[in-house]
Amino acid sequence: GQQLNQSPQSMFIQEGEDVSMNCTSSSIFNTWLWYKQDPGEGPVLLIALYKAGELTSNGRLTAQFGITRKDSFLNISASIPSDVGIYFCAGSKGAQKLVFGQGTRLTINP
Amino acid sequence: NAGVTQTPKFRILKIGQSMTLQCAQDMNHNYMYWYRQDPGMGLKLIYYSVGAGITDKGEVPNGYNVSRSTTEDFPLRLELAAPSQTSVYFCASSYSVGTVTEAFFGQGTRLTVV
């Protein structure tokens, strides 16, 4: 089946550092979504991207839809303790089911 | 709006028992999904539905069954619970308007099979 490769699998950073993670696929997607999952909770949508090349921000978060439509990245600037969690990318080809990456587990040392 | 509601939140089953995990959404979404998430792992798709009366298998369907008799509800059935089905189960729903698709998740059901 379709696979999304998300990297890195885990990150250990100091508070205040910037974070970057990405997601790649062998096939083209029409929509890229980024989710965050807090411990014990369901994933929550952070950013949705709909057009190749699109760059979208949500506070300290910035995500881009790759020009090739086969990748996307998420950046978090000036990390804070509440950024801890698992970040998932997801892709969709429109009227089809979502495909999720394996997740990036972010740990922040104060 | 309640969004996506899952019940129960927690459940302990004995091996061989059966149960149904309930999922309901009030957003009139056409797509609904069931995922399982094992400790420290990502989401694996069990089953999904593109609309009432239509369901299809995901990556890990064995040991599960689903039905979609209405747009709102998408229950997941475990017939003979096994320890390998110990996991957190998430239901999600999404809509498509042209090429736009966003998914919203429930809070999860934590299932332990002993």
pLDDT digits (tens, 9 = 90+) for B3-28: 999 999 999 999 999 999 999 999 99
Distance of CA A96 to the CA centre of its chain: 20
- What percent of chain B is predicted at pLDDT more than 90? 75
Min Cα–Cα distance to chain B from A95, Å: 6
| 3 state SS of A68 | coil
- What percent of chain A is predicted at pLDDT more than 90? 76
- pLDDT given for residue B6 in this prediction: 96
Report whether pLDDT(A14) > 90: yes
- Name the average pLDDT for chain B: 92
Report whether pLDDT(A62) > 90: yes
- pLDDT given for residue A100 in this prediction: 86
Residue located via tokens 């979404």: B29
CB A102 within 8 A of CB A19: no
Q: In whole angstroms, what is the distance from residue A8 CA to residue B78 CA?
A: 34
Which chain B residues are closer than 8 Å to A6 by Cβ?
A: 42
Which chain A residues are closer than 8 Å to B89 by Cβ?
A: none
**pLDDT tens digits, residue range B51-94?**
999 999 998 999 999 999 999 999 999 999 999 999 999 999 98
- pLDDT given for residue B67 in this prediction: 96
